[in-house]
């Protein structure tokens, strides 16, 4: 093989370098295209409604009313229900896997939890419609009404579909995210912290409670926010079980609608310009919120587990 002359070699190097550079620029360009496209698409709705878009409480495409408050409400409440269920469970998993589990248990159980993340959203939705929703209707909702029915949250008809089912399915879907990141954070806590506590005569739980968890606090918060971001943007499974009715009701038994689910439901059938634009604007709101949550979460997680790549890898 003949050696290439230094000149042509330099030429090849700059070409290669330039190509990879372009690809990298493309990534930034892509996010900009996404932002510009969303802003441009929502222009019409914005000039029509202004801030009333966010404060309006009626979403009725037939009559040209596009107030997104019910969607925002549905998104926030379903995500909060999800967090309420998922955070304690995920912390339990993270603590178990990082601190307690014997070695031979760790790998298979971590694998199973990751498997939970690999199942497509639409399959969760299918399972939700045919397994979870009937279960919620026949068992969970009657039970909640019997025991906590005096609260405004647990009143009304049992549909099965609705806010509660959406919250539960979201919880299942964000458990892998929160538990995996928290586990990484706990593993990054230096052993000296644990040893110091144990040497003072603390039990294992006291060690975890007083030394390990406080040390990883901001990282765990980051994990929770990352999970929240996922819950807010999750579309298919929610669309299939939430009942798709944009309304604000204190009861979690009621049908509801989220930003993501209304886009999935109405976008392809929105023939009216204004309707389409309103949906894109809802998308813009979703984009901005998830963007901010993600940035916040990354910053928090980075602070604990220095190397950012260590967080996502096992």
Partner 1 sequence: MIAGRDQRRKFSNKLMLVLAAAATVLALLPLGSILLYVATKGLLALNWDFFTQLPKPVGEPGGGLANAIVGTLILVGLASVMGIPLGIMTGIYLAEFGRGRLAWLVRFTCDVMTGIPSIIVGIVVYGTIVVAMKRFSAIAGGVALAIIMLPLVTRTTEEMLKLVPNSLREASLALGASQWRTTYSIVLRSAMGGIITGSLLAVARVAGETAPLLFTALSSRYWHTGLDQRIASLPVYIYTYATTPYEEMHRLAWGAALVLVAMVLVTSIAARLAGRRAGGGR
Binding to partner 1 by CB under 8 A, coded x per residue (else -) over 15-44, reads xxx-xxxxxx-xxx-xx-xx--xx-xx---
The two structure tokens encoding residue 254: 């009621």
- Check binding of 204 to partner 1 (CB under 8 A): yes
Binding to partner 1 by CB under 8 A, coded x per residue (else -) over 83-122, reads -----xxxxxx-xxx-xxx-------x--xx-xx-xxxxx
CB 175 to partner 1: min, Å = 5
Residue 252 · residue 167 · CB < 8 Å: yes
Residues within window 241-270 making contact with partner 1, judged by CB under 8 A: 260, 263-264, 267-268
CA distance linking residue 181 with residue 2, whole number of Å = 51
> Cβ–Cβ contacts within 10 Å for residue 201, how many?
7
CB 49 to partner 1: min, Å = 18
Residue (60 or 314) nearer to partner 1, CB: 314
- Check binding of 160 to partner 1 (CB under 8 A): no
For 203, counting Cβ atoms within 10 Å of its Cβ (0-12 exposed, 13-18 middle, 19+ buried), the class is: exposed
DSSP string, 187-256: HTS-HHHHHHHHHTT--HHHHIIIIIHHHTHHHHHHHHHHHHHHHHH--HHHHHHS-------S-TTS--
Question: Which of 208, 211, 223, 300 lies at the binding interface for partner 1 (CB under 8 A)?
Answer: 208
Question: Which of 83, 286, 300, 305 lies at the binding interface for partner 1 (CB under 8 A)?
Answer: 286
CB 150 to partner 1: min, Å = 27
The two structure tokens encoding residue 296: 């916040």
Residue (223 or 251) nearer to partner 1, CB: 223
């Amino acid at each position: 093989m003949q050696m290439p002359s230094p000149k042509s070699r330099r030429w090849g190097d700059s070409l290669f370098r330039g190509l990879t550079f372009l690809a990298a620029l493309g990534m930034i360009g892509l996010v900009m295209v996404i932002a510009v496209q969303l802003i441009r698409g929502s222009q019409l709705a914005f000039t029509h409604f202004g801030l009333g878009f966010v404060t309006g409480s009626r979403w009725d495409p037939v009559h040209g009313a596009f107030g997104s408050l019910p969607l925002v409400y549905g998104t926030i409440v379903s995500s909060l229900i999800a967090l309420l269920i998922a955070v304690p469970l995920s912390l339990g998993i993270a603590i178990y896997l990082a601190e307690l589990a014997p070695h031979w248990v760790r790998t298979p159980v971590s694998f199973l939890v990751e498997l939970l993340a690999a199942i497509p959203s639409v399959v969760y939705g299918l399972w939700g419609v045919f397994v979870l929703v009937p279960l919620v209707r026949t068992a969970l909702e009657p039970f909640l009404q019997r025991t906590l029915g005096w609260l405004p949250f647990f009143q009304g008809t049992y549909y099965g579909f609705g806010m509660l089912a959406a919250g539960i399915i979201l919880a299942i879907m964000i458990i892998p995210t929160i538990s995996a990141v928290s586990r990484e954070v706990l593993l990054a806590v230096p052993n000296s912290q644990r040893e110091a506590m144990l040497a003072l005569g603390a039990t294992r739980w006291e060690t975890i409670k007083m030394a390990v968890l406080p040390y990883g606090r901001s990282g765990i918060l980051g994990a929770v926010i990352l999970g929240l971001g996922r819950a807010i943007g999750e579309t298919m499974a929610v669309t299939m079980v939430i009942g798709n009715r944009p309304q604000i009701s204190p009861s979690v038994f009621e049908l509801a609608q989220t930003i993501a689910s209304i886009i999935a439901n109405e976008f392809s059938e929105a023939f009216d310009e204004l309707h389409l634009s309103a949906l894109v604007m809802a998308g813009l709101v979703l984009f901005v919120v998830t963007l901010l949550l993600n940035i916040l979460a990354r910053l928090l997680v980075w602070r604990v587990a220095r190397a950012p790549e260590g967080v996502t890898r096992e």
